[in-house]
Amino acid sequence: MNRDPRPPHGAPLETEYRPRHPLDFRRTVLFLRRGRGDPTMTVDGPVVWRASRTPAGLATLALRESGAGVIKAAAWGNGAGWALAQLPALCGADDDSDGFDASLHPLVADAHHQNPGLRLARTEIVFDALACAIFEQKVTGMQAFGAWRRILTWFGERAPGPTPHPMFAPPTIEGWRHIPSWAWHRAGLEPSQSRTVVAAARRGDALTRATTAAHTGPERDQVLTSIRGVGPWTSAETRIRALGDTDAVSVGDYHLAHEVGNALAGSRTDDDGMLELLAPWSGQRQRVIRLIGASGVREQRRGPKLHPEDHRAR
C-alpha cells in the first residue's frame, strides 16, 4: 500500500485560460469528481484541486475562477505542462454544440437558457476513465466511490504540490494489473469488476491508443467493448469523461431511463423508450441528459432506499 510522504515541490507552472464561451466552471469540472472523498479531486474554498496521471507523468492542478471569468491555473509535477495545455479541454473548450436545438422540448429549452455555461469536460485520459466506470458497474454510488477512494489511496501515487490534504493519482496501467486480489475485496469491489479492470490493463496502452484514434462514438464503443466485462454502459461512461462525447448515452443505467422519461414525457420509461425520446437530438444526446440533470427535475423515488451489504469482512 502507498505510504509515501508528500513529494517535494517547487514553484508551479502557471497559466490563465480565458474561455470564448460562457462557462459554468464548477459544474463543468466537478462533474468528474467521484464523490466528496475522491482522492483525485477536492474543493478548498475557491480552489478546485485535481490530481491525475498524465502521459507526461503525475500532475496536480489548482484552479481558481477570477471575477472576470478567467480561470487561473497552477500545476506541479512532471505532467504539469501537459495538464496546463489540456486545461481548455477540461473546461469544455472542445465541446461542440453544432446542430443542438434546445427548442425541441420546453424543459430542455428552459434548462439550456438557465445554464448557458454548462460545458462537457474531457480529461483525455482514457484508461483512468475506464477504470473508474468499471468501479461503478451495477453498484450504488456510495459503494463505487468508497472502493475508488480505497484503491487509489492504497495503490495510487501521492500527488505533487501543496494540496490542502493528501491527494492521490491513479496507479500506472501496469500498477492496476498487480493490485492483489485481497485488496480488491477489502476495498469493496466485486470479483467481476476487479477482473475487468485487470483484463483492460493487460491491453491498456493499445486500448488507449485505439480509443483515442477512433473518430466516432460507435468506433470507440467497438474498441472499448472488446474487453470482456465492458458493455455499452461502461463504454459510454468512459467516453463521456475522457472524450467529452456529446452523444454518449449510458444505456443500462439503473435510474437514467426513468429520469429521462419523467423529464421529457412525464412518466418513467425503459432504455428503448429513452432512446426514442432522445432521438431528435441525435449527436447531442449527452448534452440533453446533462441539461435534464441541471434542470432539477427528478422522478419521485419509489420503494425503500437500497442499503448495500458490506462483504469486506468476509
Cell of 249: 448515452
Range of the structural domain that residue 83 is part of: 1-314
* Cα–Cα distances in angstroms (integers) from residue 24 to residues 29, 68, 92, 204, in the given order: 9, 13, 10, 33
Q: Which residue has the cell 506541479?
A: 76
DSSP 8-state secondary structure symbol assigned to residue 156: S
Q: What is the pLDDT of residue 49?
A: 98
Return left, alpha or beta for 221; rule: phi > 0 is left, psi -120 to 50 is alpha, else beta. Answer: alpha
pLDDT of residue 24 exceeding 90: yes
pLDDT of residue 140 exceeding 90: no
Mean pLDDT of the chain: 93
Q: What is the pLDDT of residue 6?
A: 63
| Rounded Cα distance, 231 and 126, in Å | 16
Q: What is the distance in angstroms between the CA of the first residue and the CA of the last residue of the chain?
A: 20
Residue 41 contacts residue 90 (beta carbons within 8 Å): no
- pLDDT single digits (tens) 193-221: 999 999 999 999 999 999 999 999 999 99
Name 9's Cβ contacts closer than 8 Å, sequence gap at least 6: 76, 77, 160, 161, 162
Nearest to 64 by CA among 37, 122, 25: 25
- pLDDT single digits (tens) 70-109: 999 999 999 999 999 999 999 999 999 999 999 999 999 9
- pLDDT single digits (tens) 208-256: 999 999 999 999 999 999 999 999 999 999 999 999 999 999 999 989 9
Name 302's Cβ contacts closer than 8 Å, sequence gap at least 6: none
pLDDT of residue 304 exceeding 60: no
- How many domains is the chain partitioned into structurally? 1
CATH number for the domain including 266?
A: 1.10.340.30
Q: What is the pLDDT of residue 10?
A: 78
